[in-house]
Chains A and B, each alone.
Chain A
Amino acid sequence: MNWLSISSGAFLVAFVLYCAAFLFYVIAVIGRKWKNRDPQHHLRKWGRIAFICSSLGLAAHLAFFFTRWAGAGHIPTSNMYEFMTLLGMMIMIAFTVLYAIYRAPLLGMFALPLTILIIAYAAVFPSEVQPLVPSLQSNWLRLHVTGAALGEAFFAVGFAAGLMYLLRVTDYNDKSASARRSQFWLEFSLYVLVVVAGFIITVFAFRGAGYEATFLREELTIDAYGNEQWTRETIEYQMPPIVKPHGSEPVSVRPFLGLDRPLFEAPAWMQGVNAGRKFNTVIWSIISGTILYGLLRLAARRPLGAVIHPLLEGIDPEDLDEISYRAIAIGFPIFTLGALIFAMIWAEQAWGRFWGWDPKEVWALITWLFYSAYLHLRLSNGWHGLRSSWLSVIGFLIVMFTLIGVNLIIAGLHSYAGVS
């Protein structure tokens, strides 16, 4: 028994506890309308059970974090697996802080699935401990990553509350154009979440099946002195290839449901080694997410938003609006410190430039600008409720793009190991 095996055990425990806590929060909220009970008493009782359960989950998660730290010899914030688990943990911390302020069990019903989704996403990445390359051996970097994750976690809780607000106030019986538009975009937001779940499920399904396909790409490059050089790259897929990397030939493709060769080729501008594979993954995620969404719709026979909407009845939407805003207000200074100031100090030490306009950096700045616009609109121009909640949803989308999308699409200094 060493630190690392304790650590992975704790991770599993945390995951299970989070799932259970989610269930309890759902019971707490839905069960208010069950017969033979006082709604307030039920909510308080099950809310407490759920909160204890999610706190235990957080404790296990913290145990995972610190035992991994002990086992690896450095704080686990250095690759995508470690970062996403850290983000999940920070969301739970942010949730706990807001729960302590507002005592709103409902928040758990939305914050927990978000955490579960994020740590399940983390599990897609290789989880082994990697020794650090020299540029990552810096305390400022550790502070930067931890601080940025905590700030983003508050934004995530702001998003969860904002989404709840939207689900609460959207009237599914209203047939007016503006109501329909609101219903559509809300449904679309939920669909995106389902696609993320679809992505995770697909990755694990094909990984479980041990699927593999290999491509070879030969490329002619001409160096500065005019010498021609052939480079050969092998590209491995863990999902059946719908699209093959640009300019590559299949070496081996295991047939899947009759699919024994790629259907088409990635366009020429997708040049990176992994671009074709990432594109393929995105296609698979959309396919499986859409199927999953279709199944859910089929089971519910109405929009998912219309399924959730009645569950939230009886909650004061103003409270949700306030929680969402408060989460963002708490997160903003932390994000400024972690994602921008500590990042500048680290960049100064490691590269000699406090700001390099690296895509990841720019996107952190974009996130910051977006939330500062949000705060100004709210504080000075009176944007609250609906508009403010939409902004919190878009803001979190920007956060996720900064964390994942930039690595998926744009490469920079910060790129952790790419997306599956």
Chain B
Amino acid sequence: MKGRKRKITQVVILIGILLLGGYAVGTSLFKSDEKPKIGGRPPAFENVADVEGNLHSLADYRGRPVIINFWGTFCPPCVAEMPAIERQYQKYKDQGLVVLAINLSEDDITVRDFLKRFNLSYTILRDRNRMIERKYALRSYPTTFFIGRDGRILDIDTGGMTDEEIERYILRLLET
């Protein structure tokens, strides 16, 4: 009787340790860092204004291949790749391709005057107080996320891209 009671205590304690310990180790092992990863889902954003003031949410584009590109006028490689993105967008927009180019929380005049110099037809969104940028845990500019029709991140590119590189990504995107 005494022995059984002892055994039960032991089992309860060991299970308790196993559960708590497993939880502790598990959270450190599977800590997602909350930063978007290839194969994961992109952080959602809602009601972000474009340059005309129309509101966009990521959820609006569910089921379509989406390119999310972060850019700033102060970032030369960002500026350099914009015409290339535009060309590829023109080529593939009929197949449902969406480009959301999110500006890095710059002010109105800067963005407006900058865009005058280009003739961009894809959507430019305005981040504010780096809210979206933080969600995407950006480390360097430009960074581009390629999101497949399945709503998962197919690839992430940091640094400027050429026409060929963008096209290669888009072709992969369209396959999803």
Contacts and interface: CB of A to CB of B under 8 A. Distances in A.
3 contacts: A224-B140, A225-B74, A225-B75
Interface in B100-148: 140
A225 B75 CA distance: 8
B150 to A, nearest CB: 34
A224 B75 CA distance: 11
A386 B40 CA distance: 59
B169 to A, nearest CB: 24
3 residue pairs, one from A and one from B, having the closest CB atoms: A225-B74, A225-B75, A224-B140
Interface of A: 224-225
Contacts of B140: 224
Nearest to A224: B140
A179 B75 CA distance: 69
A224 B139 CA distance: 10
A64 B60 CA distance: 73
Contacts of A224: 140
Nearest to A225: B74
A254 B74 CA distance: 49
Interface string B68-94: 000000110000000000000000000
A75 to B, nearest CB: 39
A224 B72 CA distance: 14
A355 to B, nearest CB: 16
B106 to A, nearest CB: 14
Nearest to B72: A225
Contacts of B74: 225
A227 to B, nearest CB: 11
A46 B74 CA distance: 79
B141 to A, nearest CB: 9
Contacts of A225: 74-75
Interface string B41-85: 000000000000000000000000000000000110000000000
A224 B140 CA distance: 8
A225 B140 CA distance: 9
Nearest to B75: A225
Nearest to A226: B76
A224 B74 CA distance: 12
A387 B74 CA distance: 65
Nearest to B77: A226
A249 B165 CA distance: 46
Nearest to B140: A224
A385 to B, nearest CB: 36
B78 to A, nearest CB: 11
A61 to B, nearest CB: 47
Contacts of B75: 225
A177 B101 CA distance: 75
A42 B136 CA distance: 79
